[in-house]
Amino acid sequence: MYTAAIPPVSAATEHDKAAIVIDQLNKHFDNVHALRDLSAKIFYGRLTGLVGPDGAGKTTLLRILAGLLRPDTGHVTLADFDVVTNNDAIHVISGYMPQRFGLYEDLTVIENMHLQAQLRGMDTSQQTALFTRLLDFTRLAPFTKRLSGKLSGGMKQKLGLACALMARPKVLLLDEPSVGVDPVSRQDLWHMVQELTGEGMAVIWSTAYLDEAERCDSVLLLNEGQFAFDGPPGELTQHLRNRSFRLEAVGTQRRAVLAEALDLDSVSDGVIQGASVRLVLRVGSSPEQIQMLANRTGAQLVPVPARFEDAFIDLLGGGPGGTSALAEHLPPVELTTSSAVSCHNLTKRFGDFIATDNVSFEVHKGEIFGLLGPNGAGKSTTFKMLCGLLKPTSGEAHVVGLDLRRAPGIAKAQLGYMAQKFSLYDLLSVQQNLEFSAGVYGLGSNIRRDRIEEMISIFDLRRWLSVAPGSLPLGHKQRLALACALMHRPPVLFLDEPTSGVDPITRREFWTHINGLARKGVTIMVTTHFMDEAEYCDRVAILYRARLIALDTPDALKRDAASANCPDPTMEDAFIHLIETSALTDEIEI
Amino acid sequence: MSYQNFRIILIRLHAQFVKELLCILRDPRNRVVVFVPPLLQLLIFAYAATLEVRNVDIAVYNQDTGREAQEVVWHLEAARFIAHVHHVHSNTALREQLTQGKVIAAITIPADFSRTIAINGSGHVQVLVDGRRSNSGQIVTGYLSTIAKDIRFTANPVPAPETSVVVRHWFNPNLVYLWFMVPGLTGTLAFFSALMITALSIARERELGTFDQLLVSPASTLEIILSKSLPALVISTLLAFLMISMAVWFFHIPFTGSFGLLLVGLILFILSAVGIGLVISAISMTQQQAILGGFVIGVPTVLISGFATPIENMPVLLQWLSQAIPLTHFLIIIEGCFLKALPPWDILANLWPLAAISLTTLPMAIIFTRNRLQ
């Protein structure tokens, strides 16, 4: 465990006082030791990131801080009040925003705010100034009359935040506020929270997105119920100085290069970034091997600054290897048509509302194609029309040259589908789920037996065969879902936000398989909120307000977003840039 | 369709059929929930839904001291349907007993009761019955007049020269209420079982996200509906079987009709209930909506089916509506098969409406499921 001295953030003495003191905290659930001997201090006027993979204990810790769970042993004080003995005071002094804030979907924005105020015993007629301020702050003022069930994910989070801020808390606890929120709304949330810490509030922001950790003043890294790190994020990344490199201009070879690099003993972690491959070396390894790799592939090896995510993966002992056992077992895909997926003037209307407006594109065999867009931009609608879950109002969608409306059975047999929500039958065992997936795609008993056996050994599922999928560890759930989607060896694979809420290690393993599949010629259609994942795509389509506003390689999109202020934009910068320019042109048109 | 295609469809259907069965029955708790409550309900409702009157209390205000008046009181105290006779000593107390619902009937024996009998050979007592419990009240009145007849016979042993009507009940000579209640309950409970299993099936998959997974597979809507119908059909028919066995061997209700024809009726009946359940499920987005939908359809269906009240007494409009309800026809079949050896053509007359209902609701379920795709 790395512990860093916490530097003073500001001169004000108030800021040096700890807002939260956690002392020797332990919590068990049945047999699970959820939190182990946690001790830490959290300060006023500072944004503290509570970072860690799913199931690390983030929510449990936050619920204890909010006075909603009792610790088994140990003490926690929040603004000098003990969370157990002074429980009532905690609810007054803290604001807590759970993962899904308890908004009443059938009430309007302003009704929800009134209700929350009244629940806190406030007289709503006296508080118009407060409401106006909160609505301005969250930029929800134009939507006060809208039902909160009709808000986008990002707007719901902002309303949740407004409700949590109602009582002007000294300590604000936010549980994964950015899950399912697009980058633009995410940026809004960040600005709001920074303003609050500026006023002296202590804010805890829990997240599974490691790039968010870098923006925090201080980070508590939670892994398997223990703090793996406590301090400013820069402190942790320092340990990785001179260990992060980028192989630039690898081009079409990048998936093969990544796979090869990950199998080297000197490399601990690697990801694709557009046409480049980003690699992290193991402690004490020299860049010799990757230099050789660069020379052989004609790429340039450039040292890059370490990211928080590099440090995290390194702490956990490095990412998975680069070879996908799954892809090795698959025969190369043969297609008679040149385009694997295509759509032409695809349009979908729901009453007056246009969800997808005249979208056309073509995806080639073996391509990884990303569909991105802010919440409510029509990304899901388009995706659902492409895989036959929705009927287009007009226009056409083809999979492997087959029209989903005219030959649904044959066309559907050509595609595999993995949903954002974990969608296996929890009432069936793992084995039965595999049997069902094989059966529903019409595999005869001999092939079925072989394929299931193959999936079990590739994904190492043997010891889990008789349990319900819901009780699998997260990584295994992901593997099982992929196994079920690929049982019939489809030439096209649809992934709808496949790694939402999945920890970075599992995500890397997942992408190792996806990269392997793409190299075998499987076409991958993916929607995602992770800008990191957009980097894995060959091409990215960005939808905004139902229209296709950009379609290009990730590198080209980043290049277009480069400006004097931001010479080396990230994918996220590029995304925000595109949305903002598009919103601007819309306004000019009006 | 080639043989190869047909074989693939069979594989798909088989996989889905197994999946549905496992979804309902794999969990031991679920297994219990599917079978035990209906069987328990049959036991409980069979005894609870009784029309007989037993264990009632009666108030008596006896103003007479004569032998005949005492005779009346003794008879009442000895009567098996009366649990307790409350003796009161004023009209106010008598009214109180009745208005507070402590007794179902209150009897006043006037002071001159014995004297009038001595002179005329007959006397009058006043019987006040609680009209709030009209049905039981009527039955109690009937019982009381039987007692009165007995007393008159003891008081005046010379038989009255009256023409008496002897009533003989066909099919259920002793009017044992269990004999018509149990077959009716069997139909009702089997109906609800099939309705609920299917109403939840699509809604549950929608809620869990597995329905999308099913829709992107090559399985057609027809296959999906078919594979959701069969397990419900099997389970609910099995359940009805268990209940029929209980009726025969536990309640000892005579089974006089054709078992084969009852089975045909049962399958068509469950199929039509499955169709209704699947329509509800296809419309519902969540399990909660599906359960509500099941009750909104299920409860009126039972009330209009003639299970509790005769259809002939209903308004004409409801009488027509009752013909569209599967339970109406099945009640005729099952009650007929138990008690009156219903002949085949009478059963047939009720079989075709069941078939017609199934042939309407099942395609409707397919259409609704397809339309939800938009």
Residues 6+ apart with CB under 8 A from A446: none
Mean pLDDT (whole number) for A541-570: 87
Q: Is B220's CB within 8 Å of A409's CB? A: yes
- The answer as to whether A169 is a domain residue is yes
Strand partners, A403: A398
Largest Cα span, chain A: 74
How many Cα atoms sit within 13 Å of A92 on the Cβ side? 10
Phi, psi of A186 (to 5 degrees): -65, -40
Mean pLDDT (whole number) for B159-167: 53
List CB contacts (< 8 A) between A444 and chain B: 7, 11
Residue A195 and residue A164 share a domain? yes
Alpha-carbon distance of B162 to B156, in angstroms, equals 14
Instruction: Write B93-102 long-range contacts (CB < 8 A, 24+).
Output: B93/B59, B93/B61, B94/B59, B94/B61, B94/B128, B97/B59, B98/B59, B98/B128, B98/B130, B101/B130, B101/B132, B102/B57, B102/B59
Give the residue numbers in B contacting A (CB under 8 Å), as ranges. 7-9, 11-12, 14-16, 18-19, 22-23, 26-27, 30, 208-210, 212-220, 373-374
Residues 6+ apart with CB under 8 A from A165: A95, A134, A137, A172, A196
The whole-number pLDDT of residue B1 equals 56
- The answer as to whether A461 is a domain residue is no
- The answer as to whether A352 is a domain residue is yes
Mean pLDDT (whole number) for A310-333: 82
List CB contacts (< 8 A) between B20 and chain A: none
Secondary structure class of A523 (helix, strand, coil): strand
User: How many angstroms away from the CA of B369 is the closest CA of chain A?
Assistant: 12
> Which range of residues forms the domain containing residue A294?
239-323
Least CB-CB distance to A442: which of B22, B208, B218?
Answer: B218
List CB contacts (< 8 A) between A423 and chain B: 208-210, 212-213
Q: Is A391's CB within 8 Å of B8's CB? A: no
Retrieve residue B142's tokens. Answer: 């009937």
Which segment of A34-43, A356-365, A378-387, B153-162 scores lowest on mean pLDDT? B153-162
Q: Is A494's CB within 8 Å of B216's CB? A: yes
Q: What is the pLDDT of residues A395-439, one digit of tens each?
A: 989 998 888 777 777 888 889 999 866 678 888 999 999 999 999
Residue A224 and residue A269 share a domain? no
Residue located via tokens 């990002």:
A154
Least CB-CB distance to A425: which of B7, B9, B210?
Answer: B210
Element at B116 (helix H, strand E):
helix B113-120
Q: How confident is the model at residue A16 (pLDDT cuts 50, 70, 90)?
A: low
Provide, rounded to the nearest whole percent, the portion of chain A with pLDDT above 70: 95
Query: Beta-strand (E) ranges in B33-125?
Result: 56-62, 82-87, 105-109
Do A115 and A122 meet the contact criterion of CB atoms below 8 Å apart?
A: no
Mean pLDDT (whole number) for A247-260: 83
Alpha-carbon distance of A46 to A482, in angstroms, equals 41
Residue A449 has pLDDT above 90, yes or no: yes
Residue B51 has pLDDT above 70, yes or no: no
Residue A27 has pLDDT above 50, yes or no: yes
Alpha-carbon distance of B4 to B11, in angstroms, equals 11
List CB contacts (< 8 A) between A426 and chain B: 208
Element at B242 (helix H, strand E):
helix B221-245
Alpha-carbon distance of A148 to A125, in angstroms, equals 21
Do B100 and B92 meet the contact criterion of CB atoms below 8 Å apart?
A: no
Residue B210 has pLDDT above 80, yes or no: yes
Interface test with A, best of B30, B213, B286 (most A CBs within 10 A): B213
Mean pLDDT (whole number) for B70-98: 86
Higher pLDDT, B51 or A148: A148
Alpha-carbon distance of A535 to A380, in angstroms, equals 20
Write out A196-243 in H/E/C secondary structure. Answer: HHHCCCEEEEEECCHHHHCCCCEEEEEECCEEEEEECHHHHHHCCCCC
Residue located via tokens 């006896």:
B62
Residue A193 and residue A275 share a domain? no
Alpha-carbon distance of A404 to A344, in angstroms, equals 13
Cβ atoms within 10 Å, residue B170:
7
The whole-number pLDDT of residue B152 equals 67
Q: Is B209's CB within 8 Å of A423's CB? A: yes
List CB contacts (< 8 A) between B18 and chain A: 432, 435-436, 439
Interface test with A, best of B212, B215, B216, B223 (most A CBs within 10 A): B216
First to last CA, chain A: 56
Residue B238 has pLDDT above 90, yes or no: yes
The whole-number pLDDT of residue A3 equals 41
List CB contacts (< 8 A) between A419 and chain B: 209, 212-213
Residue type, A516: G
C-alpha torsion B341→B343→B346→B352, nearest 10: 100
Residue A375 has pLDDT above 60, yes or no: yes
Alpha-carbon distance of A135 to A151, in angstroms, equals 14
* Chain A, nearest residue to B13 by Cα: A440
Mean pLDDT (whole number) for B43-58: 78
Give the residue numbers in A contacting B (CB under 8 Å), as ranges. 350, 387-391, 408-410, 412-413, 415, 417, 419, 421-429, 432, 435-436, 438-444, 494
Do A216 and A48 meet the contact criterion of CB atoms below 8 Å apart?
A: yes
Strand partners, A301: A247
Residue A216 and residue A126 share a domain? yes
The whole-number pLDDT of residue A4 equals 39
Q: How confident is the model at residue A501 (pLDDT cuts 50, 70, 90)?
A: low
First to last CA, chain B: 28
List CB contacts (< 8 A) between B11 and chain A: 439, 442-444
Residue A387 and residue A520 share a domain? yes
Alpha-carbon distance of B240 to A518, in angstroms, equals 54
Which segment of A567-581, B266-280, B347-361 scores lowest on mean pLDDT? A567-581
Alpha-carbon distance of B127 to B59, in angstroms, equals 10
The whole-number pLDDT of residue A589 equals 45
- The answer as to whether A459 is a domain residue is no
User: How many angstroms away from the CA of B218 is the closest CA of chain A?
Assistant: 4
Secondary structure class of A37 (helix, strand, coil): strand
The length of chain B is 374
Residue B172 has pLDDT above 80, yes or no: no
Q: Is B16's CB within 8 Å of A436's CB? A: yes
Residue A382 and residue A340 share a domain? yes
Instruction: Write B343-347 long-range contacts (CB < 8 A, 24+).
Output: B344/B258, B344/B261, B347/B257, B347/B258, B347/B261, B347/B265
Residue A370 and residue A287 share a domain? no
Residue A531 has pLDDT above 70, yes or no: yes
Cβ atoms within 10 Å, residue A511:
23
Q: Find the CATH number of the domain harbouring A384.
A: 3.40.50.300
Q: Is B12's CB within 8 Å of A439's CB? A: yes
Mean pLDDT (whole number) for B247-258: 88
Residue B196 has pLDDT above 80, yes or no: yes
Domain B56-150 CATH assignment equals 3.40.1710.10: yes
Which segment of A107-111, B89-93, B106-110, B121-125 scores lowest on mean pLDDT? B121-125
Mean pLDDT (whole number) for A546-575: 86
Mean pLDDT (whole number) for A357-379: 88
Cβ atoms within 10 Å, residue B132:
11
What stretches of A427-503 show up as alpha helix (H) in DSSP? 430-440, 445-458, 474-486
**Final residue of a structural domain among A305, A323, A341:** A323
The whole-number pLDDT of residue B297 equals 92
Residue B363 has pLDDT above 70, yes or no: yes
- The answer as to whether A6 is a domain residue is no
Secondary structure class of A109 (helix, strand, coil): helix
Alpha-carbon radius of gyration of chain A = 25
Residue B167 has pLDDT above 70, yes or no: no
Least CB-CB distance to A425: which of B23, B216, B373?
Answer: B23
Q: How confident is the model at residue B16 (pLDDT cuts 50, 70, 90)?
A: very high
List CB contacts (< 8 A) between B287 and chain A: none
Do B55 and B100 meet the contact criterion of CB atoms below 8 Å apart?
A: no
* Chain A, nearest residue to B212 by Cα: A389
C-alpha to C-alpha distances, A210 to A249, A498, A501, A502, nearest whole angstrom: 26, 17, 12, 11
What is the DSSP code (8-state) at residue A441? T
Secondary structure class of A347 (helix, strand, coil): strand
User: How many angstroms away from the CA of A424 is the closest CA of chain B?
Assistant: 6
Retrieve residue B275's tokens. Answer: 């169709």
Alpha-carbon distance of B94 to B109, in angstroms, equals 12
Residue A311 and residue A179 share a domain? no
> For all residues of chain A together, what is the average pLDDT?
84
Residue A247 and residue A167 share a domain? no
Secondary structure class of A310 (helix, strand, coil): helix
* Chain A, nearest residue to B30 by Cα: A427
Residue B362 has pLDDT above 50, yes or no: yes
The whole-number pLDDT of residue B293 equals 94
What is the DSSP code (8-state) at residue A417? E
Residue A114 has pLDDT above 80, yes or no: yes
**Final residue of a structural domain among A200, A231, A262:** A231
The whole-number pLDDT of residue B326 equals 93
Q: What is the pLDDT of residues A122-141, one digit of tens each?
A: 777 777 888 888 888 777 88
Question: Which of B73, B133, B55, B125 lies closest to B98 in space, CA to CA?
Answer: B133
**Final residue of a structural domain among A294, A323, A352:** A323
Residue type, B260: G
Alpha-carbon distance of B245 to B251, in angstroms, equals 9
Alpha-carbon distance of B46 to A377, in angstroms, equals 59
Residue B32 has pLDDT above 70, yes or no: yes
Q: What angle do CA A211, A216, A220 make, to 5 degrees?
A: 90
Residue A358 and residue A416 share a domain? yes
Residue A317 and residue A182 share a domain? no
Alpha-carbon distance of A369 to A377, in angstroms, equals 17
Alpha-carbon distance of A259 to A518, in angstroms, equals 12
The whole-number pLDDT of residue B105 equals 87
Q: What is the pLDDT of residues A269-280, one digit of tens each?
A: 888 888 888 888
Residue A94 has pLDDT above 50, yes or no: yes
Residues 6+ apart with CB under 8 A from A511: A271, A272, A533, A536
Retrieve residue A271's tokens. Answer: 């990801």
Q: How confident is the model at residue B239 (pLDDT cuts 50, 70, 90)?
A: very high
Q: What is the pLDDT of residues A220-240, one digit of tens each?
A: 988 888 888 899 988 888 888
Put the strands of the sheet holding A402-403 in their side by side order. Answer: A353-364, A339-350, A394-399, A402-403
* Chain A, nearest residue to B29 by Cα: A427
Alpha-carbon radius of gyration of chain B = 28
Phi, psi of A336 (to 5 degrees): -85, -30
Which segment of A133-142, B147-156, B279-288 scores lowest on mean pLDDT? B147-156
List CB contacts (< 8 A) between B220 and chain A: 408-409
Least CB-CB distance to B217: which of A412, A428, A429?
Answer: A412
> For chain A, how many structural domains are there in total?
3
User: How many angstroms away from the CA of B203 is the closest CA of chain A?
Assistant: 14
Q: Is A423's CB within 8 Å of B212's CB? A: yes
Residue A292 and residue A184 share a domain? no
List CB contacts (< 8 A) between B373 and chain A: 389-391
C-alpha to C-alpha distances, A384 to A493, B213, B224, B282, nearest whole angstrom: 13, 11, 19, 19
- The answer as to whether A503 is a domain residue is yes
List CB contacts (< 8 A) between A435 and chain B: 15, 18
Domain with CATH 3.40.1710.10 in chain B: 56-150
Alpha-carbon distance of B217 to A130, in angstroms, equals 52
List CB contacts (< 8 A) between B7 and chain A: 444
Least CB-CB distance to B22: which of A389, A427, A442?
Answer: A427
* Chain A, nearest residue to B17 by Cα: A436
* Chain A, nearest residue to B24 by Cα: A427
Alpha-carbon distance of B154 to B68, in angstroms, equals 9
Give rounded-to-5 percent helix, strand, coil for chain B: 70, 5, 25
